Amino acid sequence: MINKIFENLVYLFYPKNVSAYTEKEKYFETEEYIRLSNIIAGFDTEESKKRHIALINEFEKDYTLKGFRDFSAFDLEDRCTTFCLTIIEEGELYTLSLYTSFLIPYYVVKCQKNMIEMFFSDLEIAQLQKDNIETRKIPDLILEIETIVESKLLYKKFPKEMLGNVIQDVSFQDSDFGYFNLFNAFFNNCII
């Protein structure tokens, strides 16, 4: 049922059966694409900036979360704000990414393990681990991020099991039919 609701919301912003890849002119003239473009362009409002700043201010109050950096790419037509935080836990390098949609009141938090050896030597890793005073583990940090987003923005967590659900008759930018999923529709073009 909820999948059908999300699918119907997708159709408000993306035209059915018009390829963004092979039918660009037609695609750009559809009412759905024009609606999406106007929302993306209109996201740069004072009200949106206030919510954005309120969220950043909440992160600034936390020793670790104040390291969040804004990687939003509105010029690439992202449908969300993107914040990333890199942390080291037990000698491993992780990136926590927070995506907050501005098409729907939902967010996603993603944790990705990186190859620390590509960035730091063994000596540097040991020193970084020694200097790390954060006692919370990644699940606790994610819970803190979720609490802040839900209390400040009144957003809900997007159902994880639905992120990869493909909308077969929709395409956008370089995602042609059969590859465009709910995460792409409401957040950005990353592979999640």
Percent of the chain with pLDDT over 70: 92
Q: Which residues pair with 80 in a beta bridge?
A: 101
Average pLDDT across the chain, whole number: 87
The whole-angstrom separation of Cα 70 and Cα 73 is: 9
Which residue ranges make up each domain of the chain?
Answer: 9-43+159-184, 63-153
The whole-angstrom separation of Cα 109 and Cα 98 is: 5
Per-residue model confidence (pLDDT) at position 160: 95
The whole-angstrom separation of Cα 151 and Cα 9 is: 24
Of 88-92, 122-126, 184-188, give the lowest mean pLDDT range.
Answer: 122-126
pLDDT in tens, 149-160: 999 889 999 999
Which residues of 90-135 form beta strands (DSSP E)? Answer: 92-101, 106-114
The whole-angstrom separation of Cα 42 and Cα 79 is: 11
What's the average model confidence in pLDDT over 92-117? Answer: 89
Assess contact for 151 and 169: CB atoms under 8 A: no
The residues, ordered by sequence, that sit 6+ positions from 164 with a Cβ below 8 Å of its Cβ are 181, 182, 183, 192
pTM metric for this prediction? 0.87
5 DSSP 8-state letter: H
Across the chain, how many H-helices and E-strands are there? 7, 5
pLDDT in tens, 16-74: 999 988 898 999 999 999 999 999 888 767 777 777 778 888 998 988 888 888 888 77
The whole-angstrom separation of Cα 156 and Cα 108 is: 9
